[in-house]
Amino acid sequence: MDTNASEIVLMDMDDGLKRVGGSMALYKKLLGRFSEGNFLDSIDTALQSGDMAEAAKQIHTLKGVSANLSLERVRALSVKLEAEVKAGEDHAGSYSELKLAYADTLEKIKEVDG
């Protein structure tokens, strides 16, 4: 990824709202479901067990969900991590970045829901 991840917005609410027909209530509901998900747990379990196919599958799911909700930083880092895992490359740095972005995104979701 050419761009520093911290330069990518966490959440594009305008785009996210467009994706749900402008319904803030629905968008907040979907963000709440995202917050309750165990995406990182599933990815971590797969990575720790060495099951790279399952890790790639779980990362791909996170990539899709984050894209649908316009959670841009998580989406971008998921793209990068998925490619590294599939290529058998060192992914430790990307996974650390993703975990930080994920935590930041959860905090941002709390602000939106508050």
pLDDT per residue over 44-96, tens digit each?
Answer: 999 999 999 999 999 999 999 999 999 999 999 999 999 999 999 999 999 99
Query: For residues 52 and 82, what is the distance between their CA atoms, to the nearest angstrom?
Result: 10
75: CATH: 1.20.120
| 5 in Cβ contact with 73 (< 8 Å) | yes
- Which has the closest alpha carbon to 98: 68, 60, 69? 60
Please classify residue 85 by burial: count the beta carbons closer than 10 Å to its beta carbon, then call 0-12 exposed, 13-18 middle and 19+ buried. Answer: buried
Model-wide pTM > 0.85: yes
Residue 20 covered by a domain: yes
Residue 100 covered by a domain: yes
Q: How high does pLDDT run on average in the chain?
A: 93
User: Which residue range forms the structural domain that includes residue 77?
Assistant: 8-113
Task: Encode pLDDT of 9-42 as tens digits.
Answer: 999 999 999 999 999 999 999 999 999 988 999 9
Residue 2 covered by a domain: no
